[in-house]
């Protein structure tokens, strides 16, 4: 069957994923998927060389399977010291414990100890067509509930390094809509002498470390694979803001997509516009910023002179033990004192070898770290961008030559519009600084996202029901401030934009959406909002706050309205008939989208069916190609008691049918199993 084969392929992918390293991946990753910015944290501190299912600064979030729109390609943490003796009693005048993306996760340098996630509110249950939604990375079982954490979500990870420094990292995510586009990372580096995952033994007791540097490497890629598949390149400019006179932020490193040279793109590809639809695929401005660095192990005040080194180099020349560089060469990278402000202007194009694939090393130090002492460094990751809706609509206008923005037209308008993503990044960065300064626990909070969200398709309508949160008191003040709910909807795919379709004042926990079309796929989210009375410490005091739009969306199963089952087979037919692939594909061309198997554009429908039916599809030579049951137990989008059943032109042998004329034969039964007859007909496929 069609969907059984589809599930089998997914199962193979998942099994391969678990087989890759079940103990490491399954037990050593946790994900933030509460706001616009999604991220997966690893107990090893950086990103493994192979991890297919993960969030990497995914923005905007929402795709729970392939995590498109990733912005983080690589992350590494170095710890450097001088005059150090290892556990084999070998002396090193300089040494760097290198954990990073260039050396296959540095198994000789790091030892993951633990990772765990706590949340203020559990991931809600979402049911569509009586099918419970599931996420691969962020599940109810992947976290424990706690009312004592200082943010809506906290992931805590620990790992040891071969230099005897324990790395304890807390990451914080917030549902507050003013603070859901950044994630804070708090690192505590402790000289405890432990070098492996056995915390009961101390391999390097009583060591004192001198001239210690803590380095963070980031390889950022706006839009991830989506945009760069178009021209097969990496053409990004890098900027470090915060080490020049007049800079208003503590320190922020970010990258953005630039225009490649004529050899790699025949058009101005800033923002990576899709050549078919015009959609800007890489409008994001991803960045990492600094919130705090201890002055010394005995002085926790923020040292505004840190980071000591900000070095931005092309990936091809970044140093690593894997590339054959020495301990001294890596240490000199950390204490070089370079204060780069970016790559803009260093080359004619961002594709130039002098600046291609920029990697930053931000190094903090030097610290003298005696046995038992700790140093704390706090960073944040954030992404700014124009909205997904604007990237689509403005991209289409740019493609047909009608785009105007701030008095500009054409490429100038496109580039100026995309550049406003930097404004939103700066806004998120300032909000992160504000939140850290007042204490995350002192930020105002929205109501929790409604739980037990049920989406039930019906004839010409879709019913929505959820659990009330009207009695949930404000987490910060303990006062009731609930005001109502908002309903959002996307059409066609869960990765499309969500539009506000209704605002409900008061505690109504039911909504009927009648503005729907038969056979169309719909995805929903329900949020709760307050009256703003308890928002006294926010960036906008008195503003009404709203729960996350990402927490109770339906992802895997769509809701589709239908016509009720027919009592006879007198009105069975196929739509569209004839089917023409070019007429159905998005933008008039076939969408080669690896996210959807089978492809959405291959769908045809059998309509006018009774409550139960078997559809058999034959070639004109009489060969049986496919048998489709109605309702289809292998297709969660197949609705019982409807008159419709979808088919994606895939045979029982998992082959897509070709152009031609085909015959269908339908046998039907009513709800009680009584036969209602049979019907037959023809349909045409044109490819």
Express each pLDDT in 112-138 by its tens digit: 889 999 999 999 999 998 889 888 889
Place of tokens 């159905």: 584
Closest CA to 313 of 361, 281, 350, 347: 361
Q: What is the DSSP string of 114-136?
A: EEEEEESSPPPPEEETTEE---S
Judged by average pLDDT, the poorest of 275-289, 472-486, 589-603, 659-673 is 589-603
Say which residues have a Cβ less than 8 Å from residue 343's Cβ, sequence separation at least 6.
Answer: 237, 238, 239, 312, 350, 354, 355, 358
Task: Please measure the distance between the N-terminal and C-terminal CA atoms of the chain and give it in whole angstroms.
Answer: 23
Express each pLDDT in 187-224 by its tens digit: 999 999 999 989 899 999 999 999 999 999 999 999 87
360 by DSSP, 3-state: which? strand
Task: Give the pairing of strands 612-619 and 252-257.
Answer: unpaired
Residues 368 and 453 placed together within one structural domain of the fold: no
Express each pLDDT in 547-571 by its tens digit: 999 999 998 889 988 888 889 999 9
Per the CB < 8 A criterion, the answer to whether 250 and 353 are in contact is no
The pLDDT-based confidence of 266 (bands split at 50, 70, 90) is confident
Residue 131 lies in a domain: yes
Residues 253 and 341 placed together within one structural domain of the fold: yes
Express each pLDDT in 420-477 by its tens digit: 999 999 999 999 999 999 999 999 999 999 999 999 988 889 999 999 999 999 999 9
Q: Decide if pLDDT at 585 tops 50.
A: no
> Average of pLDDT values for 401-424?
97
Task: State which of 411, 438, 465 marks the end of a domain.
Answer: 438
Q: Report the CATH number that the domain containing residue 588 is assigned in CATH.
A: 2.60.40.4070
The pLDDT-based confidence of 15 (bands split at 50, 70, 90) is very low
- Sheet with 522-530, edge to edge strand ranges: 499-505, 482-491, 522-530
CB atoms within 10 A of CB 596: 15
Alpha-carbon gap, residue 54 to 142, rounded angstroms: 14
Residues 306 and 363 placed together within one structural domain of the fold: yes
Decide which of 14 and 212 is more confident. 212
Residues 473 and 388 placed together within one structural domain of the fold: no
Q: Report the CATH number that the domain containing residue 493 is assigned in CATH.
A: 2.60.40.10
Question: How distant, in Å, are the alpha carbons of 109, 334, 610, 629 from that of 106?
Answer: 5, 18, 61, 52
> Average of pLDDT values for 388-393?
92
What per-residue confidence (pLDDT) applies to 9? Answer: 38
Alpha-carbon gap, residue 545 to 538, rounded angstroms: 10
Task: Give the pairing of strands 675-686 and 579-580.
Answer: parallel
Residue 47 lies in a domain: yes
The pLDDT-based confidence of 5 (bands split at 50, 70, 90) is very low
What per-residue confidence (pLDDT) applies to 230? Answer: 53
Judged by average pLDDT, the poorest of 26-40, 97-111, 175-189, 596-610 is 97-111
Residue 510 phi/psi, 5-degree rounding, is -140, 140
Domain extent at residue 361: 2-438
Residue 554 lies in a domain: no
Alpha-carbon gap, residue 443 to 440, rounded angstroms: 6
Q: Decide if pLDDT at 50 tops 80.
A: no
Element holding 509 (H helix, E strand): none
What per-residue confidence (pLDDT) applies to 687? Answer: 83
Alpha-carbon gap, residue 675 to 610, rounded angstroms: 10
Decide which of 530 and 110 is more confident. 530
Q: What is the DSSP letter of 441?
A: G
Looking from the CA of 6 toward its CB, the CA atoms found within 13 Å total 18
7 by DSSP, 3-state: which? helix
What per-residue confidence (pLDDT) applies to 99? Answer: 87
What per-residue confidence (pLDDT) applies to 49? Answer: 63
Residues 433 and 459 placed together within one structural domain of the fold: no
What per-residue confidence (pLDDT) applies to 22? Answer: 36
CB atoms within 10 A of CB 603: 18
Write out the two tokens for 169.
């990292």
Per the CB < 8 A criterion, the answer to whether 419 and 257 are in contact is no
> Average of pLDDT values for 20-28?
43
What per-residue confidence (pLDDT) applies to 526? Answer: 98
Express each pLDDT in 331-366 by its tens digit: 999 999 999 999 999 999 898 999 999 999 999 999
Residues 369 and 481 placed together within one structural domain of the fold: no
Task: Tell me the percentage of the chain whose pLDDT exceeds 70.
Answer: 90
The pLDDT mean for the chain works out to 89
Per the CB < 8 A criterion, the answer to whether 334 and 361 are in contact is yes
Judged by average pLDDT, the poorest of 92-96, 149-153, 586-590 is 586-590
Residues 45 and 26 placed together within one structural domain of the fold: yes
Residue 301 phi/psi, 5-degree rounding, is -70, 155
Residue 286 lies in a domain: yes
What is the chain's length? Answer: 687
477 by DSSP, 3-state: which? coil
Residue 568 lies in a domain: no
The reported pTM is: 0.84
Per the CB < 8 A criterion, the answer to whether 164 and 111 are in contact is no
Query: In the chain, what are the helix, strand and coil shares in percent, each to the nearest 5?
Result: 15, 35, 50
Residue 567 lies in a domain: no
Residue 254 lies in a domain: yes
Residues 478 and 595 placed together within one structural domain of the fold: no
Residue 461 lies in a domain: yes
Task: State which of 422, 438, 454 marks the end of a domain.
Answer: 438
Place of tokens 């033990």: 321
Express each pLDDT in 616-638 by its tens digit: 999 999 999 999 999 998 887 78
Ramachandran quadrant class, 323 (left: phi over 0; alpha: psi -120 to 50; beta: rest): alpha
Residues 583 and 450 placed together within one structural domain of the fold: no
Decide which of 242 and 53 is more confident. 242
Closest CA to 649 of 620, 614, 606: 606
Residues 424 and 507 placed together within one structural domain of the fold: no
Decide which of 598 and 312 is more confident. 312
Per the CB < 8 A criterion, the answer to whether 2 and 650 are in contact is yes
Express each pLDDT in 504-527 by its tens digit: 999 999 999 999 988 789 999 999
- Whether the ω angle into residue 631 lies within 30 degrees of 0, i.e. cis, is yes
Residues 112 and 160 placed together within one structural domain of the fold: yes
Per the CB < 8 A criterion, the answer to whether 55 and 61 are in contact is yes
> Average of pLDDT values for 59-87?
87
Per the CB < 8 A criterion, the answer to whether 546 and 529 are in contact is yes
What per-residue confidence (pLDDT) applies to 19? Answer: 37
> Please, where are the H alpha helices in 203-273?
225-231
Task: State which of 438, 459, 484 marks the end of a domain.
Answer: 438
CB atoms within 10 A of CB 436: 18
What per-residue confidence (pLDDT) applies to 65? Answer: 65
Domain count, the chain: 3
What per-residue confidence (pLDDT) applies to 64? Answer: 67
Alpha-carbon gap, residue 33 to 139, rounded angstroms: 10
Residues 199 and 123 placed together within one structural domain of the fold: yes
Decide which of 66 and 126 is more confident. 126
Task: Give the pairing of strands 126-128 and 453-458.
Answer: parallel
- The string over 245-270, giving b where at least 16 C-beta atoms fall within 10 Å of a residue's C-beta and e elsewhere, is eeeeebbbbbbbbbbbeeeebeeebb
Alpha-carbon gap, residue 650 to 656, rounded angstroms: 5
């Amino acid at each position: 069957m069609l969907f059984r084969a589809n599930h089998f392929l997914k199962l193979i992918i998942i099994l391969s994923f678990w087989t890759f390293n079940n103990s490491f991946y399954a037990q050593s990753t946790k994900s933030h998927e509460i706001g616009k910015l999604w991220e997966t944290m690893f107990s090893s501190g950086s990103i493994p060389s192979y991890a297919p299912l993960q969030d990497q600064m995914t923005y905007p979030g929402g795709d729970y399977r392939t995590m498109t729109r990733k912005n983080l390609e690589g992350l590494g943490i170095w710890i450097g010291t001088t005059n150090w003796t290892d556990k084999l009693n070998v002396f090193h005048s300089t040494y760097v414990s290198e954990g990073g993306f260039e050396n296959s996760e540095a198994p000789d340098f790091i030892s993951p100890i633990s990772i765990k996630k706590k949340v203020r509110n559990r991931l809600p249950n979402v049911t569509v067509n009586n099918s419970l939604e599931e996420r691969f990375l962020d599940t109810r079982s992947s976290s424990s509930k706690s009312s004592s954490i200082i943010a809506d979500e906290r992931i805590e990870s620990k790992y040891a390094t071969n230099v005897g420094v324990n790395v304890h990292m807390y990451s914080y995510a917030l549902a507050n809509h003013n603070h859901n586009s950044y994630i804070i990372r708090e690192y505590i580096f402790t000289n405890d002498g432990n070098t492996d995952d056995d915390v009961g033994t101390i391999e390097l007791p009583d060591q004192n470390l001198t001239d210690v540097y803590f380095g963070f490497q980031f390889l950022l890629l706006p839009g991830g694979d989506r945009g760069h598949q178009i021209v097969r390149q990496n053409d990004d400019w890098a900027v470090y803001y915060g080490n020049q006179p007049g800079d208003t932020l503590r320190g922020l490193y970010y990258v953005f997509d630039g225009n490649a040279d004529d050899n790699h793109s025949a058009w101005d590809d800033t923002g990576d516009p899709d050549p078919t639809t015009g959609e800007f695929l890489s409008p994001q401005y991803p960045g990492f910023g600094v919130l705090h660095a201890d002055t010394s192990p005995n002085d926790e005040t923020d040292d505004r002179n840190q980071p000591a080194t900000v070095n931005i180099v092309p990936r091809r020349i970044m140093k690593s033990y894997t590339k054959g560089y020495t301990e001294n060469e890596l240490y000199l990278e950390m204490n070089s004192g370079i204060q780069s402000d970016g790559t803009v202007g260093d080359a004619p194009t961002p594709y130039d070898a002098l600046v291609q694939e920029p990697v930053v090393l931000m190094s903090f130090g030097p610290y003298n770290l005696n046995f038992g002492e700790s140093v704390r460094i706090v960073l944040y990751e954030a992404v700014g961008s124009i909205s997904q809706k604007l990237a689509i609509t403005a991209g289409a206008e740019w493609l047909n030559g009608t785009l105007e923005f701030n008095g500009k037209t054409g490429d100038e308008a496109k580039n100026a519009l995309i550049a406003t993503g930097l404004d939103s990044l700066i806004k998120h960065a300032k909000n992160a600084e504000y939140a850290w300064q007042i204490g995350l626990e002192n930020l105002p909070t929205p109501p929790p996202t409604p739980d037990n969200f049920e989406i039930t398709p019906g004839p010409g309508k879709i019913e929505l029901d959820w659990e009330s949160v009207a009695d949930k008191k404000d987490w910060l003040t303990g006062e009731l401030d609930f005001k109502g709910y908002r309903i959002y909807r996307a059409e066609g795919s869960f990765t499309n934009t969500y539009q506000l379709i209704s605002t409900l004042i008061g505690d109504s926990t039911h909504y009927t959406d009648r503005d729907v079309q038969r056979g169309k796929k719909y995805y929903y989210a329900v949020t709760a909002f307050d009256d703003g009375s308890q928002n006294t410490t926010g960036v906008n005091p008195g503003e009404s706050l709203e729960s996350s739009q990402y927490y109770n969306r339906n992802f895997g199963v769509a809701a589709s309205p239908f016509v009720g089952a027919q009592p006879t087979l007198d009105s069975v037919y196929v739509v569209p008939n004839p089917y023409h692939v070019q007429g159905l594909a998005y933008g008039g061309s076939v969408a080669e989208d690896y996210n959807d198997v089978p492809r959405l554009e291959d769908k045809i429908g059998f309509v006018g069916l009774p409550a139960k039916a078997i559809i058999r599809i034959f070639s004109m030579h009489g060969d049986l190609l496919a048998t489709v049951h109605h309702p289809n137990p292998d297709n969660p989008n197949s609705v019982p008691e409807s008159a419709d059943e979808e088919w994606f032109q895939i045979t029982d042998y998992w082959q897509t049918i070709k152009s031609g004329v085909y015959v269908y034969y339908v046998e039907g039964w009513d709800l009680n199993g009584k036969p209602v007859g049979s019907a037959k007909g023809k349909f045409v496929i044109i490819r």
